[in-house]
């Protein structure tokens, strides 16, 4: 059974029990069920080897599913060759023809579709204007910067007006500032044109800022599929909590357990804290308690329900808009607190003893 898109609308892209193996034994993609709504921007996020790019390549038609069906707008596409799927593609390496001008690069997918010259010129002009490259039609790729080449690659994917565009690490080769600019532009274009985008990246920030939903992959499976805020605030397991954003973990054992609350006895101190139980089956289970760095306060004034622990400052780092403090807490020396740069911020020094605290609803007891 497929995971329906959040709007409950008819699925536009569907993976139905899809598996992929290259050697007949090891599954790179394991029983994937995924539905993507029309006009949705879905990002496949995960570490190298997690199966995300293989899923994209199967959807594009460059890889064949070993088992299961892939459907586009209700029709199975497993045996349709890539050039007949009507899908736009953008790669990290641009994949532009070096011997052609920019306009000729954009004309190529239109010529393949047997469009007339006047129609081609109109569509090329519109696509170049979309990516703010209207004056560059006569140049060759070698005369363009990396960011300009990627804009042209994006225009070429959009020029024949596909309903679905696939992007494989398209911004990976660009510097930080340019990457952030293009993140915004790609998201705006996708929503303005109403196209469906399936985007592959290993960059968490990119996934969180651009997507309607994110599918977090690991070991060939989707570990969690959710909107960005839910993914960050409510991770379903320890892999997602560790992979998405910065995260503190404290090891312990579940002492008591109810439907919406558990107490955890921390390793190293014997102190108990309350947490929301996620993937906890019974008392006595080992657990990782997860707390985001920005949810922790120094010398907390959070009320009676807050937990407080003693900590020792190991590092105090100025990062411009925030201060990042690394602490020794409950025997661990990798606990991080992020605080906004404010006029009343107390500057800490290595060796200082401090109290830290957080609210029980801000920490989650996850599978160990």
| CATH number of the CATH domain containing 211 | 3.40.50.300
Boundary (domain end) residue, out of 238, 270, 299: 238
Q: What is the percentage of the chain residues whose pLDDT exceeds 70? A: 96
> What pLDDT shows up at residue 3?
40
Tokens 């959040």 map to which residue? 6
pLDDT in tens, 5-32: 444 457 999 999 999 999 988 999 999 9
Annotate 98-147 with DSSP letters as a single string.
Answer: TTS-HHHHHHHHHHHTT--HHHHHHHHHHHHHHTT-TT-TTS-GGGS-HH
Domain holding 307: CATH number? 2.40.50.100
- Regarding whether 356 and 260 lie in a shared domain, the answer is yes
327 and 276 co-located in one domain: yes
Residues 16 and 96 in one domain: yes
Mean of the per-residue pLDDT values of the chain: 90
Specify the DSSP element, H or E, that contains 279: none
pLDDT band, very low/low/confident/very high, at 93 (cuts 50, 70, 90): confident
Furthest C-alpha separation in the chain: 76
Does 362 share its domain with 263? Answer: yes
Q: How confident is the model at residue 146 (pLDDT cuts 50, 70, 90)?
A: confident
* Overall average pLDDT of the 79-107 stretch: 90
Residues 265 and 218 both lie in one domain:
no
Does 4 reside within a domain?
Answer: no
User: Which of 217, 238, 259 represents a domain boundary (last residue)?
Assistant: 238
Looking at residue 66, the DSSP 8-state letter turns out to be S
Domain membership of residue 1 (yes or no) is: no
**Predicted pLDDT at 62:** 94
Q: For 118-132, how does the pLDDT look when each residue is reduced to its tens digit (9 = 90+)?
A: 999 999 999 999 888
Is pLDDT above 70 for 268?
yes
Residues 153 and 296 in one domain: no
* Predicted confidence (pLDDT) per residue in 316-354, tens digit: 999 999 999 999 999 899 999 999 998 877 789 999 999
- Where in the sequence is the domain holding 146, given as residue range(s)? 11-238
Residue 227: phi, psi to the nearest 5? -60, 155
Residue 300: band (very low, low, confident or very high) from pLDDT cuts 50, 70, 90: confident
353: exposed, middle or buried (Cβ count in 10 Å: 0-12, 13-18, 19+):
exposed
Q: Report angle CA 283, 288, 290 to the nearest 5 degrees.
A: 120
157 shares a domain with 100 = yes
pLDDT digits (tens, 9 = 90+) for 153-175: 999 999 988 999 999 998 887 88
Beta strand pairing status for 213-218 and 41-45? Answer: parallel
**What are the φ and ψ backbone dihedral angles of 61, each rounded to 5 degrees?**
100, 5
> Is residue 2 assigned to a domain?
no
d(CA 15, CA 71): 7
pLDDT more than 90, % of the chain: 72
Cα–Cα distance measured from residue 303 to residue 358, given in angstroms and rounded to the nearest whole number: 10
- Which pLDDT belongs to residue 275? 92
Q: Is residue 323 part of a domain?
A: yes
259 shares its domain with 200: no
Number of structural domains the chain divides into: 2
Do residues 42 and 187 both lie within one domain? yes
């Amino acid at each position: 059974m497929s995971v329906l898109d959040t709007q409950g609308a008819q699925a536009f892209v569907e993976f139905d029990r899809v598996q992929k193996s290259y050697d007949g034994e090891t599954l790179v993609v394991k029983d994937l069920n995924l539905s993507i709504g029309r006009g949705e921007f879905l990002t496949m996020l995960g570490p190298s080897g997690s199966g995300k790019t293989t899923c994209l390549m199967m959807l594009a038609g460059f890889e064949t599913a070993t088992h299961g069906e892939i459907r586009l707008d209700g029709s199975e596409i497993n045996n349709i060759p890539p050039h007949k799927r009507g899908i736009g593609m953008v790669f990290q390496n641009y994949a532009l023809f070096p011997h052609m001008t920019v306009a000729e690069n954009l004309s190529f997918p239109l010529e393949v579709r047997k469009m007339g010259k006047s129609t081609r010129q109109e569509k090329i002009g519109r696509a170049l204007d979309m990516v703010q490259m209207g004056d560059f039609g006569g140049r060759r790729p070698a005369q363009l910067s990396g960011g300009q080449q990627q804009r042209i690659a994006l225009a070429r994917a959009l020029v024949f007006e596909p309903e679905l565009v696939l992007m494989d690490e398209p911004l990976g080769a660009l510097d930080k500032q340019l990457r952030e600019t293009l993140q915004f532009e790609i998201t705006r274009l996708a929503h303005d044109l109403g196209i469906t985008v399936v985007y592959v990246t290993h960059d968490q920030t990119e996934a969180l800022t651009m997507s309607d939903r994110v599918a977090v992959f690991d070991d060939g499976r989707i570990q969690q599929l959710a909107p960005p805020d839910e993914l960050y605030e409510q991770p379903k397991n320890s892999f997602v909590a560790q992979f998405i954003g910065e995260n503190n973990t404290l090891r312990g054992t579940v002492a008591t357990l109810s439907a919406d609350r558990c107490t955890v006895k921390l390793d190293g101190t014997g102190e108990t804290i309350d947490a929301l139980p996620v993937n906890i089956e019974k008392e006595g289970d080992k657990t990782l308690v997860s707390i985001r760095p920005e949810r922790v306060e120094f010398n907390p004034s959070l009320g009676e329900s807050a937990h407080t622990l003693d900590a020792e400052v190991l590092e105090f780092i100025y990062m411009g808009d925030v201060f990042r403090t690394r602490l020794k807490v409950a025997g661990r020396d990798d606990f991080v607190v992020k605080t906004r740069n404010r006029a009343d911020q107390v500057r800490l020094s290595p060796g200082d003893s401090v109290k830290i605290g957080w609210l029980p609803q801000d920490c989650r007891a996850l599978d160990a």
